[in-house]
Amino acid sequence: MAIVKMQKISIAAAKKHRKAILEQLQDMGLMELHEEQIEDVDLERMDTQAARNNFERAAQTLDMALKLLKEYAPEKNAGLSLFSEKKLIPRSDFQAHDSRASGLLTKAQKLVNLEKEIHELGAANLKDRATISGLTPWMSLDIPMSTRGTAKTEVFIGTFPEDQSDEALIAGLTADLPADAPLDVNILARENRMVYVCLIAAKSISETLTENMRQMGFARPAVSCRRIPGDKIKSLEESIERRKRKIEENKKEMASYGSLRRDFYISADYYRSRALKYELLGKIPQTRHIFFLQGWVTDQSAEPLARLLSEKYGALVQREERNQDELEPTVLENPRIARPVEPILASYGLPTHGRFDPTKIMTFFYVIFFGMMLSDAGYGILVSLGTGLILLRHRRLEEGLRRMLQLFFMCGLSTTFWGFMYGGFFGNAIDTVASTFFGYQGDAILKPLWFEPLKDPMRLLIWCMLFGLIHLYTGLAIKGYETLKAHDVVGFISDILSWFMMLTGLVLMLLPSDLYGSIAGTAYQFPAWLVAFSKILAGGGALIILVMSGRSKKNWALRIALGAYDIYGVTGWLSDLLSYSRLLALGLATGVIANVINLMASMVGGGPLGLILFAVVFILGHSLNIGINLLGAYVHTNRLQYVEFFSKFYDGGGRAFQPFGRQYKYIQIKEDK
């Protein structure tokens, strides 16, 4: 049975056992809880929001600490692994973590604070470097930049635009001033298209001098200080060096936390699980002495769970009837070979209870069609070998990723099969290498076990149509199964059998026709009785559809009109059938592009240089080809399932089973022996 039978249960237990029961349910991960369904004016709920927020913040702090450890204390050989997998932790270690969690959180917070201090020190250094950069042109100034003068003098420190010489600058400043005017002009530097100056003048000429400076574009410095610039720069450089040393000390201290990585993994998931539990605690209805739970479990686990809770905690567990408007969660149960396709089905929509689960049938067609589209033995071997090695090396991958890799492993095997059937191994790579580097001029070395699509594409098109017809018939047959399961014999005859009759009759009428012969290059000669039978079959099916398709209507004219409209739906079947030509199109595209890559790689010819260029073009070209066509095969295989196959019988509508359990981001619990 592909869809697991579910049972709704309710639990009532003493409040003193609430924490223990919730932890038991969380560890077992068997029950989907729906506390909001229990409503009563005498029941109350705890306010656990503050505690939950604290646990979530703790988990986030530990997540940040682990992220910092990746940078400052990377794991050895971590770079050799393309996929991260969860750490295997004995349950006893996880349970004993309760007493250590607080201390580890303090250390994680210390790690985060050290990183924060590093950023603050770095920001301060950037600020000081900017100040040094602004003060550097004033290095030759031997008075503080904040100096404004004395009782009898005024000091002007600033810049002029650099588009004037020293002589022109002095001439502009002394304009309208007496020849013996008390003015000292010190040109300190020319940088950044500016002239840096220090002017010392008697107050008696300051008004005229200020007007001259304004007209010449004088500007006060953007950076100023109360000390001599050279002294200030030296002080800033010393501060920068002190901060650099402090940053290095912090980094070393952070690296020393690497030994706590495993404990941080456990602690992060510990707090994450606590947050989930307190979220639930805030929803549980309870009185002063009793609390209540309600939810879904699989039918086979209902009795063992009820026995455990009643014997261990004295809880009262009862089976409940499903409300009429309540949707049961869906749990799929399929053979191991079909489980990788379950996420593909779930992305479209899970089946509801009482409906047919197409996962096993879908797996067969999915793998076959994917292989026909990619259709190169070399590519298939690479896909299966790559995914197989990853699955062997990483045993604790995230479930969704693991299933996807398993799916591509099977699709790689199918691709290898169809590649040898079509005679494709990296296109015609074997023949190209033999002719380019060994002078081979004979027949093809790798001959197809079936036929070569590039030489006989119409033959492959006919087979694609046949596979498509089988696929569509299977979808219609599933709909017929569900109709009979609902004891609707009339509906089976009117909506299923009639279409089988009409479609099969039309196919049998097409095969001996000249149209089919011109397409396939061959024609079938049927005996007269079979020709007559095909016409009777098609006509009989069409007549049933015409009369019975609109059977819910009492008006016969309307019934016939609806029936005629449904017969017109045969064009939709033709459109669906033509969609399977993509099996031909993508298969040919893969082979043609692969052959073109091989031709380009061999254009230089043999010899050492030719071998090097051949290897470069071969690797780059086929890598690009396999990437593009892997994506194309995946997308179009999904489309054939979703649009053509599912449209015949499937409507989804189910929801996934989400049991209450621990949220493990980093670890996987290993049961103690």
* Consecutive H or E run containing 202: strand 194-202
Are the beta carbons of 89 and 270 closer than 8 angstroms? no
The pLDDT assigned to 554 comes to: 82
Count of CB atoms situated within 10 Å of the CB of 519: 14
CB proximity list for 281: less than 8 A, separation 6 or greater: 18, 22, 46, 48
Q: Please give the Cα distance from 268 to 266 (Å, whole number).
A: 6
Q: Give the pLDDT band of residue 41 (cuts 50, 70, 90).
A: low
Tokens (6 digits) for 401: 């990723």
Q: What percent of the chain has pLDDT over 70?
A: 97
11-37 confidence digits (pLDDT tens): 999 999 998 999 899 989 999 998 765
SS (H, E, C) 213-256: HHHCCCECCCCCCCCCHHHHHHHHHHHHHHHHHHHHHHHHHHHH
- Output the pTM of the full model: 0.83
How would DSSP label each residue in 366-395?
HHHHHHHHH--HHHHHHHHHHHHHHHHH-S
From CA 393, how far away is CA 636, in angstroms rounded? 30
Averaged pLDDT for residues 82-107: 83
Q: Which two tokens stand for residue 319?
A: 């089976």
pLDDT in tens, 344-381: 999 999 999 989 999 999 999 999 999 999 999 999 99
Over residues 158-171, the pLDDT tens digits come to 999 887 788 888 88
Site of tokens 């304004």: 214
Question: What per-residue confidence (pLDDT) applies to 79?
Answer: 47
Q: List, for residues 273-287, the tens digit of each pLDDT value.
A: 999 988 888 888 888
Residue 280's pLDDT is 87
Instruction: Give the best-scoring range by mean pLDDT among 80-89, 512-521, 594-603.
Output: 594-603
- Write the pLDDT tens digit of every residue in 483-505: 999 999 999 999 999 999 999 99
Q: What is the pLDDT of residues 206-243, one digit of tens each?
A: 888 888 889 898 999 888 788 899 999 999 999 999 99
Burial (CB count within 10 angstroms: exposed 0-12, middle 13-18, buried 19+), residue 458: middle
Q: What is the mean pLDDT of the chain?
A: 91
How far is the C-alpha of 372 from the C-alpha of 470, rounded, in Å? 15
DSSP 186: E
How many C-beta neighbours within 10 Å does residue 175 have? 13
Query: In sequence order, what are the residues at sequence separation of 6 or more whose Cβ sits closer than 8 angstroms to the Cβ of residue 354?
Result: none
Q: Which two tokens stand for residue 288?
A: 């002063």
579 Cβ contact list (under 8 Å, min separation 6): 468, 639, 640, 643, 644
